[in-house]
Structure 1
Amino acid sequence: MKEDFLHYVWQYKKFDFSNLKTCAEDLLTIINSGQYLQLSGPDFFNAQIVLNEQKWAGNIEIHVKSSDWYLHQHEKDQDYDNVILHVVWENDAPIFRKDNSEIPTLELKKYVSKEVLENYLKLKTQKSWIYCENQIGSVEDFVLNNWKERLFFERLERKEIPILELRRETENNWEAVLFCMLAKNFGLNTNGEMFLKMAKSIPFSVIRKESFEVKNLEALLFGTLDLIPAQPEDNYSKVLRNQFEYSIQKYQLDKKNIEPVQFFKHRPDNFPTIRLAQLAMLYHENQNLFSKIISISKVDNFYSLFDISVSDYWQTHYQFDKESPRKKKKFSKSFVDLLIINTIIPFQFAYAKNQGKEASELMLELIQSIGPEKNTIIDKFSSLGVKSKNSFETQSLLQLKNEYCNKGKCLQCAVGIQLLKA
């Protein structure tokens, strides 16, 4: 038995409350079960009850055992002075206030039906992947679809957090924020943090000034990440080395100590050199990239925006001083989709909120126009009967798995609540 089940039973009144009595045999009537705010302090705020015809208003605290009150040291916390009812599964000890008056206790197990308890135990029996894996496929589409929308925006709000942190660090410079977020995602999971440190170490005013010459941008990006050979062999490498040293002096930039980027286990088109070359070309060809990003609302327009190649040198190289067969090395559709999902939509969402604009419908339209992501989590949900038609649904399912299933929050999940009603 866990407290989350008791919270669920109390919040949704899943017990026989027609003839309640406290453990002291006082008649109990619940007028208002209170607000479940999930904050510090008592579990339910602003409840109203009647005890032996005396009306009380205050808070409700819930525990598996009444002795948990002392285990959690609530008797020392003034936030619990206004508790008017202690709701427990098992009453194993009387509980007293600071003035030695006993707090009324309701023992819930006397009033919860066998069916409700069995549904809970069935749901919470450990499975191989998620608790409801044998039942989730039977959940009504209406319930699941509404829950997916809530999950999507929860995930979007989580992705918004680092964007807002960058906004504070850059003193509200949204162009700099966009550059940092794009750089991080160009680095993918392996090199994302190093790319982000690189982007944060170069003032965006410098990026803007140098974007008119792609080699100057490349020199800044490659040089900051210490990718240009110390003793370059070919002419272009020498040009970038000299340009980087010149830029360091010109803009009085500090040479940051950034961890080496990783090439290992990457396909050549995902080498950090190629991603940096693409990032440089993106800003070279779009000096007004910020205004384009915040104004585009159709996925096809994003595909057009990112329809760029790399500079001539990188069409015949994957690494410095090592020539390879010519290839334009354009963005793949799947990579642009990842940028839209993980960078652009969260950025547009955060910027719109900052400007006091409502963008929820636009975000939904955009994410629903992108095909479903492919990964082991989505494949597993599909095998359980929960299939995805687009990235809105896959993003929602990732939030469900990571923030609810993995953390056992079945009773805070619309799926779990629906299954308990079965």
Structure 2
Amino acid sequence: MKEDFLHYLWKFRKFNALNLKTAQNELITIIKTGDYLELSGPDFFNAHIKIEDQKWAGNIEIHLKSSDWYLHNHEKDPAYENVILHVVWENDAPIYRKNNTEIPVLVLKDYVSKEIIESYNALVSPKTWISCEKQIKEIDTFVFNNWQERLFFERLERKSKFIFEIVEETNQDWEAVLFYLLAKNFGLNTNGNSFLQIAKAIPFSIIRKESFEYENLEALFFGTAGLLDVEKEDIYFKDLKFRYFYLLHKYQLEKNYVDPVQFFKLRPDNFPTIRLSQLAGLYHKYQNLFSKIIDLKSVKNVYDVLNVSASLYWSNHYQFDKESSKKSKTLSKSFIDLVIINTIIPLQFAYASIMGESVEEDLIDFMKEVASEKNATIDKFNSFGINSKNAFESQTLLELKKEYCSQRACLKCALGLELLKNN
């Protein structure tokens, strides 16, 4: 039994409300259960009840045991002085206000049916990958689709927190914000943090000034990544190293140390050398990339804008001093799709939020053009009959699994509530 189940029971009145009595044997009539705000303080605000002939307006606090009141130190918190009813599963101790009057207690287990308890226990079973895996396919399409939209924007809101932080950090220089985001996402999961450190170590004003020289950008990126710290016979390597130390001197920069970039277990096309060169190519091609990115509304247009390759040297190299068969290192469509999902859509959402604009429908339509992600989580949902046709749907399933299913937060999930209601 968890406290959120008691919140659910009270919020939706899933108990026999006829002939309710307090532990002190006083008749209770519920006029309004109150507002469930999930903030600090009592669980439900502005409830209206009647105890015997006396009407009360105030707050409701819910606990598994009444003694939890003291366990949580509510007796010391003024926010709990206006609690008019203590709703518990077990009443194991009387609770008093500061003026020594006893708070009325409702023992909820006396009024809840055996069937609803069994339905709840079945729903939150910890033995399955997700609690509703045998029932999720049966959920009404209208409920499922509405919940997907909510999940999508919850995910964007979480991603936006990082964006808002770097907006402040860069003093609202949106070109720099985009550069940070692109750097992090070009590094993928393995090198994302290292690439972000590289981006932050180079003042974006310098990126602007040096963007006309492709090799200078590469030199800055590779040098800051520590990839030029060794000695090699490779002519291109020596040229980049010379450029890097020249640029350090030119701008009076100190050499920054970042987390080492990793090659291990990466496909060659995702080697940090290739991704950093492609990032340099992108900023060599566009001096005002943000103004192009922020207004993009279709996948085709993104493919056109992000049609860049690593520099010529990398057409037959993946690492310095190691020649390979010739291959153009252009950004693939699958990689650009990841950039759309993890950079462009969150950036457009965050920018619109700050500007006070409404772009929700545009973003959903945009994401529905992007191919669905392919990973173990999406495959598992597919096995339950929940097929992901596009990135909008795959993103919502990832959010559902991470923030609800893995937390066993079924009673905060529209799908869990629907199943419990139907059961």
User: What interval of TM-score do these two structures reach, taking the shorter chain for normalisation?
Assistant: over 0.9
- Indicate whether 1:170 and 2:166 are aligned: no
Within 5 Å, give how 1:15-414 maps onto structure 2.
Answer: 15-228=15-228, 230-414=230-414
Instruction: Supply the distance in 1 between the matched residues of 2:352 and 2:253 (Cα, whole angstroms).
Output: 33
The SS at the match of 1:46 is strand
Aligned residues: 422
1:65-99, Cα deviation, whole Å (9 max, x unpaired): 11221222211221111100001112222211111
Letter in 2 for 1:209: K
Instruction: Supply the distance in 1 between the matched residues of 2:166 and 2:252 (Cα, whole angstroms).
Output: 22
Letter in 2 for 1:256: N
Letter in 2 for 1:249: H
Contact persistence 2:223–2:229 (CA under 8 A)? no
Deviation at 1:46, TM superposition (A): 0.8
Compute the TM-score of the two structures, normalised by the length of structure 2.
0.98
397-406 vs 303-312, which deviates more? 303-312
Letter in 2 for 1:333: K
Deviation at 1:229, TM superposition (A): 5.1
97-106 vs 66-75, which deviates more? 66-75
Deviation at 1:420, TM superposition (A): 0.7
The SS at the match of 1:236 is helix
1:314-346, Cα deviation, whole Å (9 max, x unpaired): 112111122222211111111000010011110
Instruction: Supply the distance in 2 between the matched residues of 1:347 and 1:114 (Cα, whole angstroms).
Output: 49
Deviation at 1:404, TM superposition (A): 0.7
| CA RMSD in angstroms, aligned pairs only | 1.1
Aligned residues with identical type, % of pairs? 62
Deviation at 1:220, TM superposition (A): 0.7
List runs of 5+ in structure 1 lacking aligned partners: none
270-279 vs 20-29, which deviates more? 20-29
The SS at the match of 1:295 is coil
Deviation at 1:231, TM superposition (A): 2.4
List runs of 5+ in structure 2 lacking aligned partners: none
Deviation at 1:405, TM superposition (A): 0.9
Letter in 2 for 1:114: K
Letter in 1 for 2:411: L
Letter in 2 for 1:140: D
Letter in 1 for 2:116: V
Instruction: Supply the distance in 2 between the matched residues of 1:122 and 1:52 (Cα, whole angstroms).
Output: 37
Letter in 2 for 1:165: E
The SS at the match of 1:58 is strand
The SS at the match of 1:197 is helix
Contact persistence 2:410–2:417 (CA under 8 A)? yes
Compute the TM-score of the two structures, normalised by the length of structure 1.
0.98
